Amino acid sequence: MQPPSIWLLAAQVTSRVPPTCYPKLPIPVSNYDAVVVGAGIFGCTAAWVLKQQGMKVALVEGRTVASGVTSYSTAKLSAQQGSALSTIARQHNDQVAKLYYQMNSDAINYVESLGLNCDFERRAHCTWTSEEGNMSTVRKEFEVSRRIGIPCKMLSGAELTELPASLGAKLGVWVDNQAQFNPYKYCVELCKRIDGNGCGVFENSRVTAVSSSGNVHTVKFEEGNAAVCKFIVLATHLPILDRSLHFAFLKPSKSHCIAVRVPSHTVQNMYINVDKKMRSLRSLNDIVVVCGEPTPQGEQTHTERRYQELKKWALQHFGTGDVVAQWSAMDYYSSDHIPFMGILGCGSTSIFTATGFSKWGLANAVAGALLVGDLVLKKPNPYEAMVDARRWDHRHCGGMLGEVWHTAKHLVGDKVHHAWKYCFAKGISALPKEEGDVVRHKGRLVGAYRDESGALHVVKPVCTHLGCSLVFNHGDKMWDCPCHGSQFDVDGKVIHGPACKALCKVEGLEW
């Protein structure tokens, strides 16, 4: 199983999934003004915003608070996001780029205003390059930033003194007054404020379906219980309701991170380059967090190689191999670089979502929660039109066609591959300890993982979302869906949606 991130370790959590602190949702039926599904940064913030508006809120989580992508991020709160502003200005216009920056800045200010014990610190963020050919990209980001009124500086390589000289940095855009924090602590502390006075936080309460009659919704759970409410916030990273079709045009991508102990490091601020070998940096005391090595979700099984690349890079430039944590996180790319937030889709004005963060989901998620609060109150929000989750244009149609082809390739191609693999797949008895794979046993292909004690964990390797064939992620010890990004642990439990049902366990086989 994937080890905990540095943010969990910093909060003295030593397991991949944080311990349970809250009860399951009561059986059989509960009534609330709003149900928020998912206790990551978007869900926790949305639940708090709605409680502050006087609503009776249930925050429900399929596992435990902040056990998903939020705690496996880079933990940057930045409105300066690589070359995002110049990209948005090119695809849209300067006004949209300015709105996007301001939306994220407002979110950072909101996090600071909460005063939570979450290691919040103001830091600068810098987009840089060490490649001659990418200096124009950095210059363009600087030009757009200056044009839309963002206080920023262009720094030469010699002025980027926090970066190791061996990187050969040539140019950077420096923006002050961004922030970093511990996202796990943020969610935990916010849940303490949410729980009580008619509101509740409920863990190990997995939602499997939602039915609606007008603007009255029934949220159904794995154990057969339900919650009735007026408003639903789907804070599940990708909406678990397929009716909005977001799964069809958002591209899942996984990035990898390591935390290395560097007692003599000089990195105090946050950095990301625009080079082919992307690297994102920030610090935590004497630890430098290095992230990069993005891969399409489910396209690579031996992801340990991605961690090895990061370790080699850290050894080369920081002179250390003292890795104290490694982890990965998956996010969805929006084709126009703007997230989809607000009302889920046509036909309902009381179901909300936020998705498609394009690897910048912390400040964006808080912005999404603030937007939901305004939508519930029918209060104008300056960013509503820009991020409208119902928007459609040629960029999204193109993205949908690409993802439909991607899904069809896996739905059909992987079935053919598995049929071919059946002839050559190793038997389950040949599976070594701490390894997993699709293997052959007694006339069928099964997904098996043999743990450190030698015990087998066997599942049907077919995603419960839309039936794509799963692949085993060797680096993180989990099952990945290459179609829409669902993830399952070795026992088949859902780690990440849009799937909301566990894999079928394979039992009764004689090993």
Is residue 100 in some structural domain?
no
Per-residue pLDDT, averaged over 277-306, amounts to 86
Is the pLDDT at 458 greater than 50? The verdict is: yes
Among the listed residues 142, 201, 144, the one whose alpha carbon sits nearest the alpha carbon of residue 173: 142
CA pseudo-torsion sign 296, 163, 327, 337 = negative
* Residue 443 DSSP label: T
Reading phi first (left if > 0) and then psi (alpha if -120 to 50, else beta), residue 292 is in left
* Residue 162 DSSP label: T
Biggest CA pair distance of the chain: 68
Is residue 277 in some structural domain?
yes
Give the integer Cα–Cα distance in Å for 440 and 311: 35
**Residue 394's pLDDT is what?**
44
**Residue 16's pLDDT is what?**
86
Does residue 360 share a domain with residue 294? no
Higher pLDDT, 268 or 479: 268
Taking the CA atoms of residue 183, residue 188, residue 190 and residue 192 in that order, the dihedral angle to the nearest 10 degrees is -170
Decide: 302 and 475 in contact? Cβ < 8 Å.
yes
Does residue 203 share a domain with residue 157? no
Give the integer Cα–Cα distance in Å for 72 and 285: 18
- Structural domain boundaries enclosing 319: 120-177+256-333
Is residue 156 in some structural domain?
yes
Joined tokens for residue 261: 């102990």
Name the pairing type of β-strands 231-234 and 351-355: parallel
Does residue 142 share a domain with residue 55? no
Other Cβ atoms less than 10 A from the Cβ of 41: the count is: 33
Of the pLDDT bands very low, low, confident and very high (cuts 50, 70, 90), residue 7 is very high
**Residue 405's pLDDT is what?**
46
Is the pLDDT at 298 greater than 60? The verdict is: no
Give the integer Cα–Cα distance in Å for 462 and 501: 11
pLDDT digits (tens, 9 = 90+) for 184-235: 999 999 999 999 999 999 999 999 889 988 889 999 998 889 999 999 999 9
Angle between helices 361-376 and 94-114 (to 10 degrees): 90
CATH number of residue 230's parent domain = 3.50.50.60
Amino acid in position 396: H
Domain end (from 286, 308, 333): 333
pLDDT digits (tens, 9 = 90+) for 150-165: 999 999 999 999 999 9
**Residue 422's pLDDT is what?**
46
CATH number of residue 481's parent domain = 2.102.10.10
CA–CA distances in Å: residue 276 to residues 146, 251, 267, 281, 354: 25, 19, 22, 15, 29
pLDDT digits (tens, 9 = 90+) for 15-58: 988 999 999 999 888 899 999 999 999 999 999 999 999 999 99
Decide: 171 and 128 in contact? Cβ < 8 Å.
yes
Q: What is the mean pLDDT of the chain?
A: 88
Is residue 234 in some structural domain?
yes
Does residue 273 share a domain with residue 173? yes
Is residue 284 in some structural domain?
yes
CATH number of residue 160's parent domain = 3.30.9.10
Domain end (from 288, 306, 333): 333
Q: Which of 134-138, 231-235, 423-427, 450-454 has the lowest mean pLDDT?
A: 423-427
Is residue 431 in some structural domain?
yes
Does residue 380 share a domain with residue 416? no
Does residue 484 share a domain with residue 386? no
Of the pLDDT bands very low, low, confident and very high (cuts 50, 70, 90), residue 406 is very low
Does residue 292 share a domain with residue 276? yes
Name the helix (H) or strand (E) containing 438.
strand 435-441
* Residue 379 DSSP label: -
Reading phi first (left if > 0) and then psi (alpha if -120 to 50, else beta), residue 214 is in left
- How many structural domains comprise the chain? 3
Name the phi and psi angles at 382, rounded to 5.
-65, -15
Decide: 281 and 269 in contact? Cβ < 8 Å.
no
pLDDT digits (tens, 9 = 90+) for 483-501: 777 888 888 888 777 887 8
**Residue 484's pLDDT is what?**
73
Other Cβ atoms less than 10 A from the Cβ of 213: the count is: 8
Global pTM reads 0.87
Does residue 231 share a domain with residue 202? yes
Q: What is the CA radius of gyration of the chain?
A: 22
Is the pLDDT at 447 greater than 70? The verdict is: yes
Domain end (from 284, 317, 333): 333
Is residue 369 in some structural domain?
yes
